[in-house]
Amino acid sequence: MLQSTFFISTGRAAIAAALLLIGTALAISSASAAERQYYDILYKTQLDPESGLADVEISLSGAQLPTQLTLHLDPDRHKNLDGDSLTIEGENAVWTPKGKQDSIHYQFVIDAKKSSGSYDSRIINKWAILRSDKLIPPISARAPQELQSRATLEVVTPKKWNTLAPYVKDEQGIFQLKDPGRRFIRPKGWLISGRIGSRQDIIDGTDTVIAAPLGKNIRRQDTLAFLSWTLPELKKVFPQFPEKLLIVMAGDPMWRGGLSGTRSLFIHSDRPLISGNRTSSLLHELVHVGTGIRGDHESDWIVEGIAEYYSLQTLRRTKGISERRYQQTLEALKTWGEESPNLLVKRSSGPITARAVWVLHCVDTAIQEASDGKQSLDNVVTSLAADRGKVTLKKFRTLVNKAAGEEITLLDREFLEGKKKP
């Protein structure tokens, strides 16, 4: 057994550090797969529409357990924590599992609203829609190097409810969780439970499910058809697109837009597949699922711009919109973007994202011209999606210049801040 322990966190930077540590530890010990030991994590939750709460039990079992787990709580939603070997330290719960089996309990407040007042998490007497990565908070684990987790999620519901999450279920209806690259596995992505209807198909190798509460005005089949001609095109740019995809739809009072999650997304059922301005919220969120990137304090425009640009590109490439309409949309976004010349801000939306699309279009053209058509923004975006995690202006610029084979001045800071013309 190795003496070294390390820390796994859901933070990308910490992951990178942990991977570095794994690498170092492996080099020193040359620990082989045969030496690996496993313990089991069972996440069991009971959804209760009466109280609006989910009872959660996290149980560990195995010959050896992690020495310490730190749960990073949301104090408004994770309540009444209980466990023999649990201490609360501010917004963290520190669990030092004992013996070969140990468990903790808590309650999770399911209903949550976004700032606009509409729900992004909700339970009523007929259904529940929530994110499993909120239900189970981020957890940092301290464990010996060779110790690995296997994890399952069991959702107990009122009678006649069905539950879907972007994971395979076994014969007992228990989700078999996967989280490649993580040693401490926890569920992620959207979860829908209740009296629901769903449509499923394999689209270009991705097991795609569209699910929504039973009722009228939910276009599951239309949505599936739309994906069957757009997803394969999108997957050319994102070859590592998940093998499982869950799309959750619902009407008011849920959030009136789209919200992406791991291998899944939520979209309000009133959203058209293609809007009047020829953009698509559904494709926008799908690009987020495909890239898995997030911005730093000044690069959200890259994340949002890519989502919007590739939703538009995908429609154009699949002939959902004509070349003429595509050009018109670009021009309209360019004009709108003039309202907000500075891209280097914390959050990109509205005119900032519109300007981001125009800038990315120009960058795309510049790469193609500089490389005699051999490279395009596709190559840059494919690389970003392969790395996932945080994107910075520096990283983006490096990839763009590499694809172009020369310096692309469009990515000068002063131009991006709207202080000068390229």
Which spans of this chain sit near Zn ion (rule: CB under 5 A)?
304, 307
Q: How far apart are the first and last CA of the chain?
A: 58
**Rounded least distance, CB 189 to Zn ion, Å:** 16
Residue 58 pairs in a beta bridge with 43, 104
**Rounded least distance, CB 255 to Zn ion, Å:** 13
Whole-angstrom Cα distance, residue 58 to residue 103?
5
For Zn ion, give the closer residue by CB, 129 or 307.
307
Are 218 and 269 in contact, with CB atoms under 8 Å apart? yes
For residue 93, what are its two tokens?
Answer: 């719960």
**Rounded least distance, CB 386 to Zn ion, Å:** 20
Closest-approach residue to Zn ion (CB): 307
**Rounded least distance, CB 254 to Zn ion, Å:** 17
Whole-angstrom Cα distance, residue 388 to residue 235?
15
For Zn ion, give the closer residue by CB, 102 or 304.
304
**Rounded least distance, CB 392 to Zn ion, Å:** 18
For residue 107, what are its two tokens?
Answer: 């309650």
Peptide bond into 253 cis (omega under 30): yes
Are 211 and 201 in contact, with CB atoms under 8 Å apart? no
Are 216 and 253 in contact, with CB atoms under 8 Å apart? no
For Zn ion, give the closer residue by CB, 120 or 304.
304
Give CA angle at 250 (247, 254), nearest 5°. Answer: 115
For Zn ion, give the closer residue by CB, 25 or 303.
303
For Zn ion, give the closer residue by CB, 113 or 347.
347
Give CA angle at 17 (63, 23), nearest 5°. Answer: 65
For residue 3, what are its two tokens?
Answer: 């003496």
The pair phi, psi for residue 22, each rounded to 5°, is -60, -50
**Rounded least distance, CB 304 to Zn ion, Å:** 5
Q: Which amino acid is at 350?
A: G
**Rounded least distance, CB 281 to Zn ion, Å:** 9
For Zn ion, give the closer residue by CB, 153 or 267.
267
Whole-angstrom Cα distance, residue 257 to residue 114?
11
Whole-angstrom Cα distance, residue 383 to residue 10?
22
**Rounded least distance, CB 12 to Zn ion, Å:** 18
For Zn ion, give the closer residue by CB, 80 or 349.
349
Residue 151 per-residue DSSP state:
E
For Zn ion, give the closer residue by CB, 146 or 285.
285
For residue 225, what are its two tokens?
Answer: 């058809």
